[in-house]
A and B are shown apart, each in its own frame.
Chain A
Amino acid sequence: MGLSDRAPDELIPGTLDMLILKTVSRETMHGYTIAQSIQRVSRDVLRVEEGALYPALHRLEVRGFLGSAWGVSENNRRAKYYTLTAQGRRELEREAASWSRVAGAIARVMQSA
């Protein structure tokens, strides 16, 4: 994923996985909705590009964090739907805890001046 107004190398690695897991944790959805949802919820700050999204989805699936099933989409097309597995939920908790620690630390440093 990339931030539209920043160099891509300034994004903390691994956050895309966490964002995907979080997004899917709310409901089962297909890749397109996942990307749309992240963009919408982040108010257009985070834009997930396909080149990052699908490799990430497949990687998470192989690692057992996401389950998938083929279903029919709202506009009547065959689509692959992803769900969070129990394992994925645990991973998400771990990631989220680690993330909030880092984010909190950064915030404290930035506010200290």
Chain B
Amino acid sequence: MRRLGAFYRRLLGLVRRRRLEQDLDDELAFHLAMREADHREAGLSPDSAHVAARRQFGSVTLLKEQAREAWTFPSFESWWQDLRFAVRFLRRAPGFTVVTILTLVLGIGANAAIFQLLDAVRLRTLAVDHPDQLVEVHAADMTRGRMGHFSGRRPAVTYPLWEQIRDRQRVFSGVFAWGATPLNVGTGGRAHYVQGLWVSGGFFSVLGLHPAAGRLLLPADDQVGCGLSAVVISDAFWQAEYGRDARVIGKALRINDHPVDIVGVAPAGFDGVEIGRTFDVAVPVCAQPNLESDTGQLHDRGWWWLAVMGRLKPGVTIHEASAQLESMSAESFAATAPLAFLPDVRQAYLATKLRAFPAQTGVSTGLREEYSTPLWVLFGMTGFVLVIACATSATSCSSAQPCVSEKWRCGWLSAPHTDALSVNCSSKARCWRLGERPSEPESPWY
């Protein structure tokens, strides 16, 4: 409380500087006048009384400066003095220094490490344009009303359902679907699997990405029956496989033994929309029947392999988006209901409601669910350890005798706060070693 009070008064002193100056002038003028009057009473002539009073006063500028200092925050010099004192002390106690530094290094290092993990899994937003506008669209309850094949890491919708969402939604300025699959880019009979992404035509444009080279996939690349039109490679893949050679644009990449033209490179730092996952090549969804053996997956109403994300129109909230998605759900599911479903599953399918879920930090395919809570707990624990480390260092410092004695008895006393005429230890190396003065050293913060 008291410290706060002094801090507040100093702050006030900053704001009312001119007023303080004026007061100080008046106060000193008053003092001079009183002294002059006393001298006159003692029999001096007015002139010599004036001179005598002045002489006794000494340097008014210095005096004012010292009084002013009470109102200001510690100057650079006193910080410097503290710093020098600290270095001197640390050099004199190497054991203490090493232990303290190690304690703090470990405490801070552990925190930084855990935070990096936490940031990647939980906090970092996608490296795309306005990630806060991105939402994921899937059923409110993903455990019911679904049957058939499930493939990829995020099997949220079927292709026919994606078409329904794409054509019926009114709340997104853009919407896209994607799915993950391993693709073989090996040649001459050698298998070389890379991380592949099926992406709908709007994928890159809705995310607001710009190519590092060439162009990105466009809606025109993703038309049903598109054949083997185009592939976009990631910046990392470009670096690893081609050494960032720009001549690679327009060349064919063999994917699952089919030649596909490389049309461009995704921007550096963009690893897809999945947490903790990266991609190497992105091909249009429409190329699926041609790249993989055509099992009818594309138009299969019971094959779940895609996930859907949208960018909210300006001014539309996620709740409004959910409401619209819910209201269009009945028609969408009725239009895509698979005939092969058992009656009760079919009923659950028809009753499924679509909703929008925040996706600014990306879509999690297991990592977040599994590690988020343990990471928070770890982070809390390492934070606690750091607090303990600080406390330990502080206690061992205050119990280390040199820490207290020199600073309190000498360092502070020669600081500008103390009496103008009091002991100056640092210059004369003479310390007052009796008693416990000063009972309370002035901390630089108040």
Contact = CB atoms under 8 A, between A and B. Distances in A.
Interface in A57-113: 57-59, 61-64, 70, 73, 75, 77-80, 87, 94-95, 98, 101-102, 105-106
A91 B123 CA distance: 50
Interface of B: 2, 5-6, 9-10, 13, 23-24, 26-28, 30-31, 33-35, 37, 56-59, 62-64, 66-71, 413, 417-424, 428, 430, 432, 434-439, 446
Contacts of B34: 32, 73, 75
Interface string A41-56: 0000000011110111
Contact of B27 (A31, A49, A87): A31
B33 A77 contact: yes
B2 A64 contact: yes
Nearest to B414: A13
A40 B59 CA distance: 24
Contacts of A49: 58, 420-421
Interface in A1-45: 1-2, 8-9, 11-14, 16-17, 30-32
Given A80-B27, A80-B30, A101-B435, 14 more contacts: A1-B421, A9-B423, A13-B419, A14-B419, A14-B438, A32-B35, A51-B58, A54-B27, A62-B9, A62-B71, A63-B2, A63-B6, A78-B26, A79-B30
Contacts of B10: 62
A75 B27 CA distance: 14
- What's the dominant secondary structure at chain A's contact region? helix
Contacts of B58: 49-51
| Complex A-B, nearest 6 residue pairs according to Cβ-Cβ distance, in ascending order | A58-B70, A55-B66, A102-B435, A59-B70, A13-B422, A52-B420
Contacts of B438: 13-14
A15 B13 CA distance: 26
